Chains A and B, each alone.
Chain A
Amino acid sequence: MAPILDINKLYKNYGATEILKDINISIEPGDFLVLVGPSGCGKSTLLNCIAGLEEITDGTLAIGGKDMTHVSPKDRDIAMVFQSYALYPTMSVAKNITFGMKVRGVDQATQDAKLKDVASLLQIEPLLNRRPSQLSGGQRQRVAMGRALVRDPKLFLFDEPLSNLDAKLRVEMRTEIKKLHQTLDASIVYVTHDQIEAMTLATKIVVLKGGVVQQIGSPAEIYNNPANLFVADFMGSPAMNLIPAQATRNGSGTQIAISREAGETLVLTDTRDLSLPEDVILGLRPEDIAEAGFRAGDGVQEAACMVDMVEPAGADTYVVSELGGKHVTARLHAETSAQAGKMLNLAFDMSKVSYFARETGERLN
């Protein structure tokens, strides 16, 4: 099947400033693509380019197999949900939802039928005669989604739709968007700066920084095999531990030496077949460092470390220790006996380690 969205060598400039550089993305029908990155990385601009609200400077863009590079937004067969919801303030909820159909000249009976379907799907029937100003944030969000759903487009575009909601509602609506995606089997492009939203919703993630694609992959790929230091640091909370280390190859594998301010150098062995330069940055997620005895497997190695801080977080307890001049976080079970200022045996799962080049930040293994 043809990809539902195919972006090829897309460039976007504002005057002399390059906002987006050489973007190549392709998604299949039913995909949930999340564009994620820090603010100013160009993710919203890219979404506006897909919508046709911004002209692209160079490259091509196809939706549903048809070239849409220079087609106006209304003819792209898309629907968009905005961060501020952008509901028409003087129209009732029902009028907001049917406005697009009215503009396109859809007959009244079809309008009514579609409105009814969408209203019952989103459970907003009692709100249809209200004005947007009479709705709560969550209700406005639903209406904005209703306006998009009623169009039944090839592609849905979401521009940070949850960032105006409070934390609890955000989680609720996140679940609901995911449910909608599953029931409707819709193709979605979703912009967010929240990496948890990206991880939970996406079937495919694009990490952007400074208008350049850093990595494209499934959430698991992005999380387990980040392509560079930026992706490693950006995705995951608490962030991946990134520790400067020295690598030396010997018979059985690679010796990884991590200096410590207090105490002797920590030496770990990675038994995988690797060819690393001497200076590397070792990346290990907090959950891949456990209390000794709680983690088993081929790559697991134990070492005594000085505990600098203990942070109970309910389900887990985070323990911070100084390694290679960095605060390294380990994720321990809640009932740990770790105490600040005492030594503790930690188990490092070396089979999960990512290595990055110190100069370029690129992944090495």
Chain B
Amino acid sequence: MTDLSMPQTQTRTQSATGKIALRWLLYVLLGLFALYYLMPLFVMVTTSLKSLEEIRTGSLISLPREVSFDAWKTAWSGACTGIQCEGLRPYFWNSVLIAVPAVALSTLLGALNGYVVAQWRFKGANIIFSLMLFGCFIPFQVVLLPMARLLGMMGIAGTIPGLIFVHVIYGLGFTTLFFRNYYVTIPAELTKAARVDGAGFLRIFWSIFLPLSLPIIVVTVIWQFTQIWNDFLFGVSFSQAGTQPVTVALNNIVNSTTGVKEYNVDMAAAIIAGLPTLLVYVVAGKYFIRGLTAGSVKG
């Protein structure tokens, strides 16, 4: 008995050591990749905290000798975008004024669309849904000119409501897709039961479907916020002085410096412009994964 069991124990120990070695290799590799991806962020943060003098003389990846927030202050309220020198602040608020209503509206409309397409099957529902999906894949450059005409005709060209309108329209494809796929997994009998109970179209949506939708709302909000906040093309095409979003202002700051290039200000401005999307993901990120995989598992 002992003779037989000995070799078995040995192989088991050997394979256990192998497993641990493999695990460590994995961690080291992952760590290296993480470092590689974090490098640009590190450079941005450290550069933004250095003085111009230090940037000129020091190395790109060294830590700041003296931490200074002057560059952040300048980026926020003093940097020049063309002839004006108000920093990012006014444009940051423009972006907030565009993104918040556009995200809210496109999410709500997407929820309604998805609810109709998934639960109130009508003739041609599939065709309409396919067409909306098609809208997800149209390159935005194609629609610039017609949209400019339309905004002009509506009298909202170059305004913040105009930009909200554009973002709501071009967000609908994706938001409808998200909500439709979520609502399709909800049994049709739920709608039937509510109809027998006397509830109408909007009542069923409001009392039964919306309360079920938190995970998919989070997904849609993250997606839409990232898209709209980071948008540059629509922002630069359909805005005018005073209504430009932060992405356009960032571009102007980086491109309109005279004399010495203020890398520290550019870096600080870039981080400021990117912070809100980061924040949204950190706050709601765990729902993002959960919402994307919801429905694939029967609950």
Interfacial residues, chain A to chain B (CB-CB below 8 A)? 48, 51, 53, 72-74, 78-80, 82-84, 86-90, 99-100, 103-104, 133, 147
Contact = CB atoms under 8 A, between A and B. Distances in A.
A90 B187 contact: no
14 contacts: A74-B198, A78-B196, A79-B196, A86-B187, A88-B194, A90-B211, A99-B199, A100-B196, A100-B197, A100-B198, A103-B197, A103-B198, A104-B198, A147-B197
Contacts of B212: 89-90
B127 to A, nearest CB: 16
A53 B189 CA distance: 10
Given A90-B211, A90-B212, A82 B189 contact: yes
A73 B195 CA distance: 7
A82 B192 contact: yes
A90 B196 contact: no
A147 B192 CA distance: 13
Contacts of B207: 88, 99
A88 B189 contact: no
Nearest to A72: B195
Contact of A103 (B192, B199, B211, B299): B199
Interface residues on B, range: 10 to 19
Nearest to A81: B193
Nearest to B210: A90
Interface of B: 187, 189-190, 192-199, 203, 207-208, 211-212, 299
B187 A84 contact: yes
B190 A80 contact: no
A72 B187 CA distance: 21
B297 to A, nearest CB: 14
A304 B48 CA distance: 104
Nearest to A78: B196
Contact of A73 (B190, B196, B208): B196
Nearest to A54: B192
Query: B192, B211, B212: which has the most chain A beta carbons within 10 Å?
Result: B192
A51 B193 CA distance: 10
B193 A82 contact: yes
Contacts of B299: 133
Given A88-B208, A89-B212, A90-B211, A80 B187 contact: no
User: Interface residues of A: mostly helix, strand, loop or mixed?
Assistant: mixed
A99 B197 contact: yes
Nearest to A100: B197
A315 B212 CA distance: 50
Q: What 4 A-B pairs have minimum CB-CB distances, sorted nearest first? A: A100-B197, A74-B198, A86-B193, A90-B211
A48 B189 CA distance: 11
Nearest to B187: A84
Nearest to B192: A53
Contacts of A87: 193
A90 B208 contact: yes
B211 A51 contact: no
A104 B199 CA distance: 8
Given A80-B193, A82-B192, A133-B299, 17 more contacts: A72-B195, A73-B196, A78-B196, A80-B196, A82-B189, A83-B189, A84-B189, A86-B187, A88-B190, A88-B207, A90-B208, A99-B194, A99-B207, A100-B196, A100-B198, A103-B198, A104-B198
Contacts of B189: 82-84, 86
Contacts of A78: 196
A28 B195 CA distance: 26
A87 B199 CA distance: 14
Q: Which of A82, A88, A90 has the most CB atoms of chain B within a 10 A radius of its CB?
A: A88
Contacts of A84: 187, 189
A74 B203 contact: no
Contacts of A74: 195-199
B133 to A, nearest CB: 25
A151 to B, nearest CB: 8
B187 A53 contact: no
A99 B207 CA distance: 9
A80 B192 contact: yes
Contacts of B198: 74, 100, 103-104
Among B195, B211, B299, chain A packs the most CB atoms within 10 A around the CB of B195
Nearest to B214: A90
A80 B193 CA distance: 7
B190 A86 contact: yes
Nearest to A144: B193
Contacts of B196: 51, 53, 73-74, 78-80, 100
Contacts of A147: 193, 197
B272 to A, nearest CB: 39
Contacts of A86: 187, 189-190, 192-193
A103 B195 CA distance: 10
B195 A53 contact: yes
Nearest to B186: A89
Contacts of B203: 103
A87 to B, nearest CB: 8
A62 to B, nearest CB: 18
Nearest to A74: B198
A155 to B, nearest CB: 11
B115 to A, nearest CB: 15
A90 B199 CA distance: 16
A107 to B, nearest CB: 16
